[in-house]
Structure 1
Amino acid sequence: MKRSRPPSIRLRRLAAELKRLRVAAALRQEEVAEQTGLDASSIYRIERAMNKPQRRTVTTLLDLYGVTDPGRRATLLDWLKDPGQQTWIKEFTPELPEIYGAYVGFEHEAESLRWTASMFVPALLQTEEYARALLSEGAKVVPTDVAQRATVRMHRQSILYRPIPARLWVILDEAVLRRVVGSPELMHRQLDKLVASAGRPNIRLQVVPFSEGVHLGMEGDFVMLDFADPNDPPLVYADGLAGVALREKAEDVARFAAIFDTIAEHALPPGESRTMIESAARALV
């Protein structure tokens, strides 16, 4: 049971359901191990989505838990297959860092996102030229990778425009508006896109002004993902000085939720935020 990359949305879903079934059967992990011949540590890792179990292992567990309905068994076993990623991401997955690739899969499945950004415009609201300039001027990325990663960012934005769009709540530091990326003309077009995005019913955009001074959002950007399926617990993708990480523990998610709420208290209302973005755009003309 080797896991080569962070868990997919389906693996997390399967792990949560197997744990629920075990609890409903009034069995402890040690008892499951005794009755199936599996190692107790394997049960623990399966239920935490730390390992992808083999099909026969899941079948054995379903037998023990009394899951006899053929349709239900087929659904749970189907979660072992390819995580159902959208077609376009499969083309880029081999070139993407593992955690980032996993995050993109989670993002595609998300019902709502809460995003803090203290340095740059979040990927879901970037223009392609802003993304390319940012990627080119940031880490040492070869031109072909810049093009690929920019393309991935543009595809990711489709979740905001699908028939049932994802809800996005973004809180920007004013520095994001004032920092010119690429050129004044390029930045003006990027700010215009932010203004247009702020007018969409599924997007809430707020700005923390410089007048608020130091705030928690300056310690690192993060995005919180919530899912429609109750079997998919929320998670956090955090980007800080120590690198990027996916946080799944309930206590970690709760801590980031509290931080987000605190940052929101310092942000301007959406209407005033949109006015500030428009002002920043005019200053570049």
Structure 2
Amino acid sequence: MRNPHSPTLRLRRLVAELKQGRENKNFTVAQAGQRLGWTASKISKIETTETRRIMAADLDRLLDLYDIDDPAKRSALHALARDAKERGWWSKYREVFGEQALPDFEAEASVIRTFEGLVVPGLLQTPEYAEALFRGGRYTGPDDIERRVRARMARREILTRFNPVHLRAVLDEAALRRMIGDTEIMHEQLQHLLYMAKLPNIDVQILPFSVGSHAALVAPFSILEFAEHLNPPIVHVGTVTDSVFFEQAGDVERYNMTFGDIQGTAISTSQSARFITELSESLERDA
């Protein structure tokens, strides 16, 4: 069984190839549409991914127009079009993730760099910790909380699958000190964090209170990078009501610089492991 893929990224990859093909022929959007008997709007909606499903016949006409004749490349582009039509597991949790689902991008990320200031990152949470976290929000029924926990736990598969994502997590000390649930839940969460930090594809660093002010005293964020060069990095920032994605090169670079600053300020992975261990042992004594 192949690894889960991102329908959104496959679509973006496909339209990037199509746009490049049009530009190689020196066609404007209007000229390409005129030659196919389509409106310029139809070409534009394809190239901006507003049209999420590209029919095989339409794709063939575009490839013919752009003189993309290589059978292997045509086959690969049709495969991208088919993949873009599929629905990921996260589609059944639309009310949890929203229209632009973070797992859609996580599924195909090769590296994720994430900063959290107040809580343990979702990818590293235990079910009990996540449940206690959701219970601390606005009142919702137990069924809704259970569904949110299931959705969050399903995201973690990218860390342990074949060819897993590389996760680089920086946590403020406050994320470890804040009591979510009870002492037992926090102790188990810290033990899980230590276990995950031992995996070769996961690095965990702590920003202790002793460093004082640092570059990321703002909202938590994640930078997702992809192996395919046609998929540039994106930044995800979670808000109270939705997810915000930044894709412009300038925005991504600013977040890259911020993450580099806090990673340099944080204590090393081995020091962080000792820090978490000492805090975990303290909780165990309290319990």
Deviation at 1:97, TM superposition (A): 3.6
Counterpart of 1:261 in structure 2 is 260
Q: Which residue type is aligned with residue 61 of structure 1?
A: L
Deviation at 1:41, TM superposition (A): 4.6
Counterpart of 2:110 in structure 1 is 111
Q: Is 266-275 or 186-195 further displaced after alignment?
A: 266-275
Q: Is 103-112 or 246-255 further displaced after alignment?
A: 246-255
User: Kindly tell me: are residues 211 and 194 of structure 1, through their superposed partners in 2, closer, same or farther at Cα, counting changes over 3 Å?
Assistant: same
Counterpart of 2:192 in structure 1 is 193
Contact kept in structure 2, 1:206 and 1:268, CA below 8 Å: yes
Distance between the aligned counterparts of 2:124 and 2:222, measured in 1? Answer: 13
Counterpart of 1:20 in structure 2 is 20
Deviation at 1:194, TM superposition (A): 0.9
Counterpart of 1:47 in structure 2 is 47
What TM-score comes out, normalization by structure 2 length? 0.87
Q: Which residue type is aligned with residue 212 of structure 2?
A: G
Matched position secondary structure for 1:111: strand
Contact kept in structure 2, 1:7 and 1:50, CA below 8 Å: no
Contact kept in structure 2, 1:171 and 1:267, CA below 8 Å: yes
Q: Deviations over 1:101-132 (max 9, x none)?
A: x2212111111111110111111100110011
Distance between the aligned counterparts of 1:76 and 1:16, measured in 2? Answer: 11
1:96 aligns with 2:96: yes
Contact kept in structure 1, 2:225 and 2:232, CA below 8 Å: yes
Contact kept in structure 1, 2:205 and 2:267, CA below 8 Å: yes
Counterpart of 2:3 in structure 1 is none
Correspondences of 1:35-74 after superposition (within 5 Å): 35-52=35-52, 54-55=54-55, 56-74=57-75
User: Kindly tell me: are residues 280 and 218 of structure 1, through their superposed partners in 2, closer, same or farther at Cα, counting changes over 3 Å?
Assistant: same
Matched position secondary structure for 1:283: helix
Deviation at 1:53, TM superposition (A): 5.3
Contact kept in structure 2, 1:16 and 1:48, CA below 8 Å: no
Distance between the aligned counterparts of 1:53 and 1:190, measured in 2? Answer: 42
Matched position secondary structure for 2:196: helix
Matched position secondary structure for 1:112: strand
Counterpart of 1:252 in structure 2 is 251
User: Kindly tell me: are residues 246 and 183 of structure 1, through their superposed partners in 2, closer, same or farther at Cα, counting changes over 3 Å?
Assistant: same
Give the total of aligned pairs: 277
Segments of 5+ residues of structure 2 without an aligned counterpart are 1-5
Contact kept in structure 2, 1:220 and 1:241, CA below 8 Å: no
Q: Is 52-61 or 179-188 further displaced after alignment?
A: 52-61
Q: Which residue type is aligned with residue 271 of structure 1?
A: S
Contact kept in structure 1, 2:93 and 2:151, CA below 8 Å: no
Contact kept in structure 2, 1:219 and 1:240, CA below 8 Å: no
Distance between the aligned counterparts of 1:50 and 1:255, measured in 2? Answer: 28
User: Kindly tell me: are residues 45 and 263 of structure 1, through their superposed partners in 2, closer, same or farther at Cα, counting changes over 3 Å?
Assistant: farther
Correspondences of 1:101-180 after superposition (within 5 Å): 102-180=101-179
Matched position secondary structure for 1:80: helix
User: Kindly tell me: are residues 192 and 77 of structure 1, through their superposed partners in 2, closer, same or farther at Cα, counting changes over 3 Å?
Assistant: same
Distance between the aligned counterparts of 1:67 and 1:244, measured in 2? Answer: 37
User: Kindly tell me: are residues 97 and 213 of structure 1, through their superposed partners in 2, closer, same or farther at Cα, counting changes over 3 Å?
Assistant: same
Deviation at 1:261, TM superposition (A): 1.2
Q: Deviations over 1:131-169 (max 9, x none)?
A: 111112124332112111211222211111112111000
Distance between the aligned counterparts of 1:33 and 1:71, measured in 2? Answer: 25
Identity of aligned residues (%): 36
What TM-score comes out, normalization by structure 1 length? 0.87
Q: Is 128-137 or 56-65 further displaced after alignment?
A: 56-65
Distance between the aligned counterparts of 1:197 and 1:66, measured in 2? Answer: 49
